[in-house]
Structure 1
Amino acid sequence: MDLSGLKTIRIAACDMNGQMRGKRMPASLAGKLDSGAARMPVSALNVDLWGRDIEDSPLVFETGDADGVITPTDRGAVPMPWLKTPSALVPMSMYWEDGAAFLGDPRHVLADVLSRYTARGWTVLAATEMEFCLLDDSGPAPAPPADPLTGRKLDQQSVLSISELDAFDAFFTDLYDGAESMGIPAQAAISEAGLGQFEINLNHQDAMRAADDAWLFKALAKGVARKHGFATTFMAKPYAQEAGNGMHVHFSVEDQDGKNIFDDGSATGSDLLRQAVAGCLAAMPASSLIFAPHGNSYDRLVPGAHAPISAAWAYENRTAAIRIPGGSPKARRIEHRVAGGDINPYLMLSAVLGAAMVGIEDGMQPPAPSDGNIYEIEGLPQLAADWETAINWFETDPLIARILPQTAIRNLVMTKRQELAGFAERPPETHWLSWLEAV
């Protein structure tokens, strides 16, 4: 992006909750960013949902709250079309003074996982399905927005409704224009099963680019909604009686010759596909904290709420946590359907792809694929039933220790324990305000 003519830019790295942490600075200083001129405390990427330092964090007390060096990612600067004054965002990554990657930076965590694929000569491709709700946040509780054409609040589900999409045409036009300007490959948009809920699919591409796009898309959707007089939220469960927001991810792996390693020419896929599925299933319960990182997330993970709650897989079955879609064998891929819309996309892809790699490394074999309504099958391994259980499982699980760097595990656990205590001190009826746009 050409920064000439801009007065200011933003530089930001991703914290453990997926929030942007960084600075506003004169655009004239942009040329110095590649040299490591920008610095901020490494602890800035390990703050809680409200931006508070983590109590007793070793990042503060063992290092003296040392500065890290932040440098631009290979994404480069992108416009911020939701702002009135033209500006640009430069995505950044955090490094220690000696140049080592700070593994409390979620983007570095994903890079660490992807390096295991690169070592085999493999490239991971991924696509995300981004679900979100438009809502009116002016009252004491979340409420549906007004239909821009009628002025009346939405009052019912409208699955795959073209008229509901058209009612919000001005918003979606700005959203797609903004995505194009930011280099985000937004594909089809649909009206989903929840009240004021929509989904936009992002294109299948390099996994790191897919994570970048998901992170940037969240900021874009929230900013554009505010321009139109309402809010966008990726909260897992904005309304107790409505479908929640998920973020499904599809992924495949190509070898050095560009061949899909999950394709063996059959309808069932290769041995490597089944090994990857087995790894995803084995790590799924202890990964609950990644897929459901907030207290509100567990309101979505209940029977009959259109969200998987058990570790099961199947072919062409949308009640399964892991689905193998049909179609051409050349496009054989895995769809991981557990995560809520409130996740950190870098950590979510790290957990999924890291688990798949462990399954391949160990030659794991999955159980037989399930049939029918998987919500009704008893005896399957379950995801964590609540936030505190998820934190405890994640902290001590040996598979998680193989998938993610220890620094990332420690920092996420500290963050979530502090948030758990923080929400316990706040009136429950106000909790939604903390999650509304922060996730």
Structure 2
Amino acid sequence: MSELRAWAQEKGVEEVECHTPDFAGIARGKVMPAAKWFTGVQTRLPTSVFFATITGSYADSPHRELWSDADMILKPDLHTAASLPWATVPSIQVIHDVLDLDGKPIDFAPRTVLRRVLEQYKDLGWLPIVAPELEFYLTKPNTDPNLPLEPPQGRSGRTQRTNQAFSMQGIDEYESVIDHIYDFAQAQGVEIDTIIQEFGPAQLEVNLVHGDAMIKADEVFIFKRTVREAALRCGCYATFMAKPIEGHAGNAMHIHQSVQSIESGENIFSDAAGQPTDLFRWFIGGQQKYSYANSALWAPYVNSYRRLVPDMSAPINLEWGYDNRTTGLRVPRSGPNNRRVENRLIGADTNPYLAIAGSLAAGLLGIRHKVEPREHVVGNGFEGGRALPYSLLEGLEAFTKSEDLADVLGQKFIDMYAALKFEEYDAFMQVISPWERQHLLLNV
């Protein structure tokens, strides 16, 4: 704390953002004067921040002891302290863990859930390593949700209307936004590996450098807000909606996963001869077995399932293959030290802590139960048909019935998360869409 205080004084920091991620991955917290925060004052939030739905309403907790909406204590994780480069006054942000009034971690909070999974790996002497890849669209400002989204004008004055994957000119069109993203990310210590033009018009992908799973989840949490702020600086929006524009590819968050031995630093997916290990196979087997239920985490909204459709560059199967982008699980070609599994099922609209926790939990369960994977796919994985839920309700049903996932993630979290998602689904069902009026009004 003393080092951070000295740094803040040197930089003239005036305010501190104290926040924690909710189930949607939204930062919830308080802003206070830096002088007050550095006194060590205890900061609190009501438990109801974890009942808040994406629409702003509140879900009923299935646990009666939470109905009082008691305070939670915010405990700063000083390793996450970073500047807030878009703030109007010199400011820093600090991600906080949340504790009950007895000082015990709130067991259903997203960071706690991920830490619970990582501790189970640590008990085995292992450290998961992940590398997230985030896709998002830039759009014109849209203040009327009844209107479809449109790509913004680039620096040429023209608007992208077609798919231009990996186009360098496409990157140049949005150079101003990208420059702001780089500057903001660097100021916050977020390590960007690459930026590319993705398949959709004005769709970009940013790859983050691989590292410790909790650190990378923190970076994604920060980075999504960073991208939105960078876009606003340039007069446009950035969206991580899973399917923001009809007829174009959706937004994914692919996660590359490997596991190291804490003692030796070696990749447990490769043996001394450089060949795949049983642990590698079982990890894939677990991904296949538990990903259907994990869809509730990886496709958390009604809109999420619009991404998971055929012929839209999104996987709809639970197969795996070597360097095969038609499968939900891809094993990139690499040397033994870099052997890893890329989970391509996850949407960009997910909470990064919960998405990573679910994926690592699936792999851990595969190892624990020695789940053998199916034979890897050569060729077109789409030919095998759909193996994912068609809707949020199907995903939630499987998620709530998985005793194995509850054992790793925590039953209370499963209960709380599912209650909130059912509430969001019910809210969606109150809305009558243009499609229904168009096709049903005079025909049925």
The TM-score, its normalising length taken from structure 1, stands at: 0.93
Answer yes or no: is 1:239 the counterpart of 2:234. no
CA displacement 1:18-65 (0-9 Å, x = unmatched): 1111112112122244x6x0111122123111332223x256764511
The answer to whether the 8 Å contact 2:317/2:384 transfers is no
Q: Which residue number corresponds to residue 394 of structure 2?
A: 389
Partners of 1:150 and 1:17 lie apart in 2 by 36
Equivalent residues in 2 for 1:3-402, closer than 5 Å: 3-4=8-9, 5-33=12-40, 37-55=42-60, 57-58=61-62, 62-138=66-142, 140-255=146-261, 256-264=263-271, 269-378=276-385, 382-402=387-407
Further displaced range: 296-305 or 150-159 = 150-159
In structure 2, C-alpha distance between the alignment counterparts of 1:60 and 1:154, rounded to whole Å = 52
The Cα shift of 1:145 comes to: 3.3
The structural deviation recorded for 1:288 is: 0.8
Query: Which region of structure 1 is more displaced relative to structure 2, 17-26 or 2-11?
Result: 2-11
Report if aligned partners of 2:323, 2:331 keep a CA contact under 8 Å in 1. Answer: yes
Match of 2:442 in 1: none
The answer to whether the 8 Å contact 1:240/1:299 transfers is: no
Gaps of 5+ in 1: 431-439
User: Which residue type is aligned with residue 294 of structure 1?
Assistant: Y
The answer to whether residue 411 in structure 2 is matched with residue 409 in structure 1 is no
The alpha-carbon deviation at position 146 of structure 1 amounts to 3.0
Q: Give the letter for the 2:271 counterpart.
A: D
Report the alpha carbon displacement of residue 265 of structure 1 after superposing the two structures with TM. 5.5
Contact 1:21–1:45 (CA under 8 A) maintained in structure 2: no
Whether 2:430 is the aligned partner of 1:428: answer no
Check conservation: 1:144, 1:195, Cα contact below 8 A.
Answer: no
Structure 2 Cα separation of the partners of residues 210 and 383 of structure 1: 26
State how far apart, in whole Å, the 2-side matches of 1:346 and 1:429 are. 35
| Contact residue 7 and residue 27 of structure 1 kept, 8 A | yes
**Equivalent position of 1:436 in the other structure:** none
Q: Quick one: which amino acid aligns to residue 370 of structure 1?
A: V
> Equivalents in 1 of 2:83, 2:99: separation in Å?
25
| Structure 2 CA distance for aligned equivalents of residues 293 and 67 of structure 1 | 27
2:438 is matched with none
Taking the aligned partners of 1:114 and 1:106, their CA distance within structure 2 comes to: 13
**Over aligned residue pairs, what C-alpha RMSD do you find?**
1.8
Give per-residue Cα distances to partners, 1:345-399, cap 9 Å, x unaligned.
0000111101111111112211111121111125x7x111111111222111223
TM-score (norm 2): 0.92
Q: Is the contact between residue 40 and residue 67 of structure 1 (CA under 8 Å) also seen in structure 2? A: yes
Report percent identity of matched pairs: 33
CA distance in 2, matches of 1:64, 1:282: 38
Residues of 2 paired with 1:166 and 1:336: CA distance? 29
Offset at 1:121?
Answer: 1.3
Distance 1:247 1:102, change over 3 A: same
